[in-house]
Chain A
Amino acid sequence: MTQTAPPGAAIAGSMPAMIDRIPSGTRDVLPEEMRELRAMTERVHGVFDRAGYGEVATPALEYEGTFARTDMDDSRPAYRVFDEQGNVLVLRSDMTIPIARLVATRYASSEPPLRFCYFAHAYRGVRPQRGQSREFLQAGVELIGSPGPTGTAEVLGVLCDALDATGLKTYRVGLGDASLYPSLLEALGVDPAPTNVILAELARGDFVAVERQIRELGLEQEQVELLLRVPRTRGGAEVLEGLDGALNDALRGLRDLHALLAPDVAERIIFDLGLVRSIGYYTGAVFGVYDPAYGVPLGGGGRYDELLGSFGRSLPAVGFALNVERLHIALTGEERGRTRRGAR
């Protein structure tokens, strides 16, 4: 163990005059942590591999134009560099876009569906704190060419198997539909301008501002109440039942999906009608992974049926990415909770 112990303690009291720092939001990983991370990613990789998802690697650097195909909001690339010819390159901010590019270029005529998985670092300009790094390891899959609800159900099954393999016991998967609230607003005749404001406020989680905006639309009382209720609706499959009108139509996709889920997957699901992912390319089902042992989402994903088309090969697609560091934090949190309960 001597060689794996952190070296910090040895130099206390004799601090060197200058310390070579690392960039804000990045960090070093030492052997003891790395061993646990590696064990976890290998178990997850086993799940992906058995499900038929082939591992790919793509360059950490891409041309800026590759990431400019779609509106990425909060997850757009934060780091730019020039190459020797003056081209602008970006450090990838996710793996979905590089894989969309890869499919359109390297698998231009392959018969779908295509299944890929990855374990790769991505880079974003986030506010650094625990579990929120500017360079972070993602474990994820992409299923290309399999439309919803079948493809979505397959990927949700892989997601739950992967989370089981990490050793997490109390995780839940929030499931919503990125098209649900926009189509409901459209069905009620709300103009695009206020719709965009409302969706942005909803993505920020400002329900007070959402309510104020909706009350200003001048709709009938019943419609106002519907628009206020829907984004706050979350719970089991019962939230999909007993509805009518525009909402009932908008929920058909989620109901069809629910019918295809295996029982052990379905019991992990929390239907969340207010779930709007902040990434612009999602078109249908969206999901988020939560654990009571940790206050931030462990990962997420969704359907992106139009993204591949912008790279020249129009195929429906769905995928998810898990933040490996956060999985590890949640896992230690769950273990601590179990020890504490056991001690009582």
Chain B
Amino acid sequence: MFDDTLDLLDRLGIDTSEVRENDRKLLFEQSGIVTMRPSDVPTYVEAGAADIGITGKDVLMEQSEREVYELMDLGYGRCRMVLASVEGEDRAEVALRRLGVVRIATKYPRIAARHFLETGRQAEIVEVKGSVELAPLTGLAEAIVDLTATGTTLRENRLVVREEIAVCTARLIANPVAHRLRATMIDRLMERVSAV
């Protein structure tokens, strides 16, 4: 998503060469760009430390309590949020049927919890920070909720998609105060994004 975003900024005529050359520097005053991991973008935008930001819909779904405006679906960075378990008989389905509760490993505990709540099933959410594919292979959980773009990592770990929860793309977000006080700047940017 980072490279796609830089490509988009290039097409808008914003000079990103400095950002591309530096992988240590984070704040680029010339172009007004700050770089950070996608899950931090809503934090900076909500506090007004950045006026606008670009992050994934997965991040916005997981941090749904953030007071930011979601202005535009940028279309790129397309991924699917899925429920997956080890190939063969679905152990998640077995656990639900025989034990009443399924254990789900995920980096997205709120999305996972909401999905099971909305589908009327009981789940114990196990939050992990790193390679979530490991959890069903070792018996930590029966299934995972994770983001997948091509499905390669899932396949390599003998995992198959059982349900699709959401399709996630890059979103343009804004601080609600900046959305009003810098309306012209933001509107002009959105017009140019729609045009390219």
Taking Cβ atoms with an 8 Å cutoff, the residues of A that contact B are 127, 172, 174, 205-209, 232, 234-235, 270, 272, 288, 290-292, 294-297
Contact = CB atoms under 8 A, between A and B. Distances in A.
Contacts of A234: 179-180, 183
Interface in B56-74: 65, 67-73
Nearest to A239: B183
A292 B177 contact: yes
Nearest to A211: B73
Contacts of A291: 177
12 contacts: A127-B65, A172-B180, A205-B67, A205-B69, A205-B176, A207-B72, A234-B179, A234-B183, A235-B183, A291-B177, A295-B47, A295-B176
Nearest to A173: B180
Interface string B70-86: 11110000000000000
B183 to A, nearest CB: 5
A174 to B, nearest CB: 5
A292 B176 CA distance: 11
Given A295-B48, A296-B67, A208 B180 contact: no
Nearest to B187: A232
Contact of B69 (A127, A172, A207, A296): A207
A208 B176 contact: no
B48 to A, nearest CB: 2
Interface in B166-192: 171, 175-181, 183-184, 187
A205 B68 contact: yes
Interface of B: 46-49, 65, 67-73, 171, 175-181, 183-184, 187
The 8 closest A-B pairs by CB, nearest first: A295-B48, A205-B69, A290-B177, A206-B70, A234-B183, A208-B73, A295-B175, A208-B70
A177 to B, nearest CB: 15
Given A205-B70, A208-B171, A290-B177, 11 more contacts: A127-B65, A206-B70, A207-B69, A208-B70, A235-B183, A270-B180, A272-B180, A290-B180, A291-B177, A292-B177, A295-B177
B128 to A, nearest CB: 24
A270 B183 contact: yes
A174 B183 CA distance: 12
The winner among A127, A232, A272 for most chain B CB atoms within 10 A is A232
B140 to A, nearest CB: 30
Contacts of B183: 234-235, 270
The winner among A174, A207, A209, A288 for most chain B CB atoms within 10 A is A207
A270 B181 contact: yes
Contacts of B171: 208
A77 to B, nearest CB: 19
A207 B71 contact: yes
A295 B173 CA distance: 14
Given A295-B46, A296-B48, A209 B70 contact: yes
A151 B22 CA distance: 57
Contacts of A235: 183-184
